[in-house]
Amino acid sequence: MTDPYLQFLTRAAVGLAPVGAVPLIAPGQSAADPLGLAGWDQILLADNPGQPTVYAFARATQPVVLQERLDELCRRLAALGFFQRPITLVAVAVLDGGEPPGLARRLGGIVPSAFYTGLRPVAWVVDLASGTTRKGGGRSFPGAEALEAAAHQSGAASEFDFGEAGRIRSRQVARAQAFYQLMQGRQPFVTYGLVAVNVLVYLVLVLNGGPENGDTLIRFGALVPNLVLGGQWWRLVTVMFLHASVAHILFNMISLVVVGTIAERLYGSPRFLAIYLGSGLIGGLASLIHGLLSNDLNTPAVGASGAIFGIVGALLTLRFQASEIIPVYVRSRISSSMVPIVVLNLLLGAVTQHVDNSAHLCGLIGGAALSFVFPLTRSLDLTPSGTEMRRE
């Protein structure tokens, strides 16, 4: 096999094998395609739980032609039921050399003309002459490293298989094992402990006049600007363990469980707790300043929302942090999922009475900043038996 393009297709298939990619169409088989996916020289499917991915390869051609092929591929995949769950479609256009200037940029911007629920399209352009790739958009996906390596290498697939692909395979297997160990081995005990403390404090309030009673809240540590300025700075901490109603504590504790169980596993319990308490303190300071600026010095403020928003902020920054064992597509997906949560909650806070959005917003920003001080787990050392030994 001397055609550099066909050699690349084989290297790509070999390199993507560690992520579970199997051929739907192999080179030379598109004419006898039983699935009706003609127009592409190679199509691979990695049907992995949580991140199924289709990789479609074709020689670079005019953008309008590739657009038609991509649209037909999407229609056919939809008819076959591929889009009944979220799936990533990576369309790879390969340049042999000698193409007109600007073609790579135009091909990299191609996306399906129609919208399909669950489809996450990614366009890649590979230039075999220079060994470079152009990525359309910022979405990450499993196997990106393997495709990069396949583009940078040259020669027969056997050489690639025993060289770079073998190293990629070893790294991917090690990362998968470490990530599984991380998620299974870490239990969110701090999150559950925080919920228990908040509920216990709420029950104490109920037995001592009720949380609706402002005097009770003040007696147990609500944030009152005049009292804080008078020297009771400990109220900046106690405020995050007090709630004013059943609905208040119920909403906050459900939110804490949802985001806390994820964040604690990814950051580790000590760093998670540091981000939580630090964000709560920052939210308390923001509430204090808001009271001073609005000349509202005697109204008590309570709630864990600033601390919880801080955890959301720490999850928002995942895509910008480095980690050898937490896959980049996992980090990116979690970060993206936090955006609508933040927007919705800030909008609700803006239209709801007695909600201090300054504490929410500053807690969010504080948590995002603290996530770089107490960063994401970057590596995980395991004993031969798989026991976690050290986190960095």
Distant-in-sequence contacts of 108-113, Cβ < 8 A, 24+ apart: 108/134, 108/135, 108/136, 109/136, 110/63, 110/66, 110/67, 110/70, 110/136, 111/70, 111/136, 112/70, 112/71, 112/74, 113/67, 113/71
87-95/119-127 β-pairing: parallel
Residue spans in the chain of domains classed CATH 1.20.1540.10:
186-391
Rounded to whole angstroms, the Cα distance separating 379 from 384 reads 16
Query: If you count DSSP H runs as helices and E runs as strands, how many of each does the chain have, helices first?
Result: 15, 8
> Does the active-site annotation cover 305?
yes
Distance CA 13, CA 157 (A): 9
Query: What is the band of 278 on the pLDDT scale with cuts at 50, 70, 90?
Result: very high
Q: Are 271 and 258 in contact (CB under 8 A)?
A: no
Beta-carbon count within 10 A of 118 CB: 13
Query: If one looks up domain 186-391 in CATH, what number appears?
Result: 1.20.1540.10
Give the closest residue to 341 by CA, choosing from 364, 372, 368. Answer: 364
- The whole-angstrom separation of Cα 88 and Cα 74 is 11
Only one residue has tokens 């928003």, namely 309
Residue 42 φ/ψ, nearest 5 degrees: -155, 135
Catalytic residue among 305, 323, 358, 371: 305
Confidence of residue 269 (pLDDT cuts 50, 70, 90): very high
Is residue 282 exposed (0-12), middle (13-18) or buried (19+ Cβ within 10 Å)? buried
Structure confidence by residue, pLDDT tens digits, 195-222: 999 999 999 999 998 888 889 999 999 9
Q: Are strands 53-59 and 87-95 parallel, antiparallel or unpaired?
A: parallel
Give the pLDDT confidence score for residue 161 in this predicted structure: 45
Residues paired with 237 in a beta bridge = none
At 119, the pLDDT band (50, 70, 90 cuts) reads confident
Whether 105 contacts 93, CB under 8 Å? no
Arithmetic mean of pLDDT, 359-379: 90
| pTM, two decimal places | 0.64
**Quick one: DSSP state of residue 85?**
S
pLDDT at 382: 44
User: Exposed, middle or buried by CB within 10 Å (0-12, 13-18, 19+), for 91?
Assistant: buried
Q: Binning pLDDT at 50, 70 and 90, where does residue 135 land?
A: confident
Q: CA 187, CA 181: separation in Å to the nearest integer?
A: 11
Annotated catalytic residue within 243, 255, 360, 371: 360
pLDDT at site 110: 85
C-alpha to C-alpha distance for 312 and 327, rounded to whole angstroms: 19
Q: Taking residues 238-266, report their average pLDDT.
A: 93
Q: Is 46 helix (H, G, I), strand (E, B) or coil?
A: strand
Q: pLDDT at position 326, please?
A: 80
CA distance 8 to 79: 30
Structure tokens at 3: 């055609």
Two structure tokens written together for 1: 């096999």
Alpha carbon distance 391, 296 (integer Å): 45
96 φ, ψ (degrees, to nearest 5)? -90, -20
Instruction: Tell me the CB-side half-sphere exposure of residue 288, using CA atoms within 13 A.
Output: 22
